[in-house]
Amino acid sequence: MNKALVILLSIVSLLFVMATRHNKEIIIYHQEPDYEQPSLLKILDNDKLSYGLYANENEPEKINILPDFSYAGYMGGGVALPNVPVKVTLSPMPGNNKKQIQDAIDAVSNMPVDSNGFKGKVLLKAGIYNIDGALRIKSSGVVIAGEGQGANGTILNATREAKHTLIILGEGANKTLVNEKTESPIISGYVPTGSISFTVKSTSGYKIGDTIIIQKSPNENWITGLNMGQYGWTPELYRIPHERVITAVKGNQLTVNIPVVDPIKLKDGGAFVYKANSNRKTQQSGVENLRLISRYKNDEDEEHGWCGVKLIMAENCWVKKVSVLYFGFSAVIVDKNSAFNTIEDCAMLDPKAKTEGMRKYSFNIQSGSFNLFQRCYARGGRHDYVTGPKVTGPNVFLDCYATKAKSDIGPHHRWATGTLFDNVQGQQIRVINRKSMGSGHGWAGAQTMFWNCTSTSGKGMAVESPPGNINWVVGGEARQLSGTGYQELLGQQVEPRSLYLAQLQSRLGQGALKNITSATQRVDVIYPDLARWAGEK
């Protein structure tokens, strides 16, 4: 590369860092003209990926590979969010607007589906809508949308003086229907992370296209190996279901659509396979282009809006271009086994609540798999990009930015697996053994990847690997790094810039990549864009 151009790039990078000082926090943005590729994967000439093998903590065999995280998101990744036709248009009215909006949602919910599987959109014209209570979308194919997430757009003003969620997308209990009669144990001695095939005792009754549950059945050996018994962990509490679809049946071997993220070992109790029927009733519905504001009395008031949008048993749904101001807990929370949802271009701004446990979790996967958060912004939260207990992936946080945070980014407690934090910038970033914190949080997560992430905190990153498992940090910037987790090329941007996007392109091609990304996102980090936007436009 031309020497003068290299010098110019360095000057531009320095000027950017100087220009982005904000409340004594520095946005670290470092771009080198050349990137290194880590040993975990390589980009081939045809944009396909080649994976290296790795060994888990305290295990000698290099038999695991990185799981493919690109299945996270709407319709399994790489599919553009739809533009649903407007069927009802509303304008703000004096007083409580809850009834008129809910009536419109219900009216569209009772309409027939069109040729694309949608019923229609409720469009709220720009203005302020006072709402006392929750709005609910239970039906499939229904969208509620405004005319912008900025101060001049569509503002939903949560007026109820009690903890509540303003918009609930979906319904139902956190249950997956399992056919106990189809139980078949996995008899493979070791199913590594990244595997798509394994051997079961019998494949009788199973066929291609069946949705199955791979339910881990840990034993006391697993608890003892992790040293978690002292914190109240028991095998019965960690029978975690992993949902997959069968793509091939050969003899007693099953092949599934999405790789295993949590290794299965007979010595640790193994796992069983069951046929499953999902009871997610809300699909292909969305929330768009809104500004949600909660009334509050003071900075520690907790009797007001708590969650902006909550997904409950939702599948292939979306929340896009929604800014959430002053709510006490979350902008968007994915809950109750929701799957294949996309949350993008959303912001959590200045939450109002006490700064302590179970508060200010800006973007939160409490329960669910295959969910994608991308291009999201948080200001003033605690745990801004976070998972709850026993959440199993792949789940992805991509190109997200947090400022003025009060605590860390990463899995929060009790064995969340298969989470990718990809180009996420915030203060402290960590995945650790939290031991007796909370109610005995223990190991917060396993198979957690921090890829090209940036920590602006003096505490930097902490990445620890549980015995028999692994957590990674590859590339990125931090003022210090602690922990025994896998570490490679910290202090620089690695190639590919984004693991999720590289895996998506490798699997589905450039068209899928363009369907879900901005032009800048395809070639560079977008922290400057997120800092300028800050959920205000």
With 0-12 CB in 10 A as exposed, 13-18 as middle and 19+ as buried, what is 116?
A: exposed
CA-based Rg of the chain, rounded to a whole angstrom?
A: 23
Same-domain pairing of 209 and 266: yes
Contacts 24+ apart (CB under 8 A), 97-102: 97/129, 97/130, 97/131, 98/131, 98/132, 98/133, 98/135, 101/129, 101/131, 101/135, 101/144, 102/135, 102/136
Give residue 174's pLDDT: 67
Give residue 176's pLDDT: 65
Are 212 and 206 in contact by the 8 Å Cβ rule? The answer is: yes
Please give the backbone phi and psi of residue 233, each rounded to the nearest 5 degrees, phi first.
-75, 135
pLDDT digits (tens, 9 = 90+) for 127-147: 999 999 999 999 999 999 999
Q: Which two tokens stand for residue 190?
A: 């070791």
| CATH number of the domain within which 329 lies | 2.160.20.10
Residue 129 counted as domain residue: yes
Judged against a pLDDT cut of 50, whether residue 93 lies above it is answered with yes
With 0-12 CB in 10 A as exposed, 13-18 as middle and 19+ as buried, what is 459?
A: middle
- Could you give the CA distance from residue 518 to residue 326 in angstroms, rounded to a whole number? 28
**Listed residues 249, 277, 305: the one ending a domain:** 277
Q: Across 442-522, where does the E strand assignment appear?
A: 445-451, 454-455, 461-463, 471-474, 481-482, 486-488
pTM: 0.93
16: pLDDT confidence band, cut at 50, 70 and 90?
A: very low
38: pLDDT confidence band, cut at 50, 70 and 90?
A: very high
- Could you give the CA distance from residue 426 to residue 407 in angstroms, rounded to a whole number? 10
175: pLDDT confidence band, cut at 50, 70 and 90?
A: low
Please give the backbone phi and psi of residue 220, each rounded to the nearest 5 degrees, phi first.
-65, -25
Burial 147-166 (b: 16+ CB within 10 A, else e): bbbbeebbbbbbbbeeebbb
Give residue 22's pLDDT: 35
pLDDT digits (tens, 9 = 90+) for 457-483: 999 999 999 999 999 999 999 999 999
Same-domain pairing of 224 and 169: no
What is the pLDDT averaged over residues 239-260?
Answer: 97
Residue 358 counted as domain residue: yes
CA 433, chain centre distance (Å): 21
Residue 41 counted as domain residue: no
Name the percent of the chain lying above pLDDT 90: 90
Same-domain pairing of 251 and 382: no
Q: Which two tokens stand for residue 82?
A: 């739809």
Residue numbers of the domain that contains 211: 177-277
Judged against a pLDDT cut of 60, whether residue 25 lies above it is answered with no
**Listed residues 262, 277, 292: the one ending a domain:** 277
Same-domain pairing of 205 and 148: no
Same-domain pairing of 169 and 181: no
Domain count, the chain: 3
Q: Which two tokens stand for residue 463?
A: 């990445």
Residue type, 265: K
Are 315 and 171 in contact by the 8 Å Cβ rule? The answer is: no
34: pLDDT confidence band, cut at 50, 70 and 90?
A: low
What is the pLDDT averaged over residues 320-343?
Answer: 98
Same-domain pairing of 185 and 294: no
- Residue 224: enclosing H or E segment and its boundaries? helix 220-226
Give residue 31's pLDDT: 37
Lowest mean pLDDT among 175-179, 195-199, 453-457: 175-179
pLDDT digits (tens, 9 = 90+) for 351-398: 999 999 999 999 999 999 999 999 999 999 999 999 999 999 999 999
Residue 49 counted as domain residue: no
What is the pLDDT averaged over residues 295-309?
Answer: 98
Give residue 279's pLDDT: 81
Burial 465-477 (b: 16+ CB within 10 A, else e): bbebbbbbbbbbb
**Listed residues 277, 308, 336: the one ending a domain:** 277
Judged against a pLDDT cut of 60, whether residue 5 lies above it is answered with no
Same-domain pairing of 187 and 315: no
Residue 61 counted as domain residue: no
| CATH number of the domain within which 236 lies | 2.40.30
- Could you give the CA distance from residue 31 to residue 12 in angstroms, rounded to a whole number? 10
- Could you give the CA distance from residue 74 to residue 58 in angstroms, rounded to a whole number? 37
In this predicted model, which residue has the larger pLDDT, 344 or 7?
344
Same-domain pairing of 488 and 509: yes
Lowest mean pLDDT among 179-183, 243-247, 272-276, 421-425: 179-183
pLDDT digits (tens, 9 = 90+) for 490-499: 999 999 999 9
439: pLDDT confidence band, cut at 50, 70 and 90?
A: confident
Same-domain pairing of 97 and 217: no
Give residue 457's pLDDT: 95
Residue 44 counted as domain residue: no
Give residue 317's pLDDT: 98
Same-domain pairing of 131 and 217: no
Same-domain pairing of 112 and 184: no
Burial 63-102 (b: 16+ CB within 10 A, else e): bbbbbbbbbbbbbbbbbebbebeebbebebeeeebbebbb
Give residue 180's pLDDT: 84
Please give the backbone phi and psi of residue 35, each rounded to the nearest 5 degrees, phi first.
-120, 150
Residue 399 counted as domain residue: yes
Same-domain pairing of 75 and 12: no
Residue 367 counted as domain residue: yes
pLDDT digits (tens, 9 = 90+) for 505-518: 999 999 999 999 99
**pLDDT mean across residues, the chain:** 93
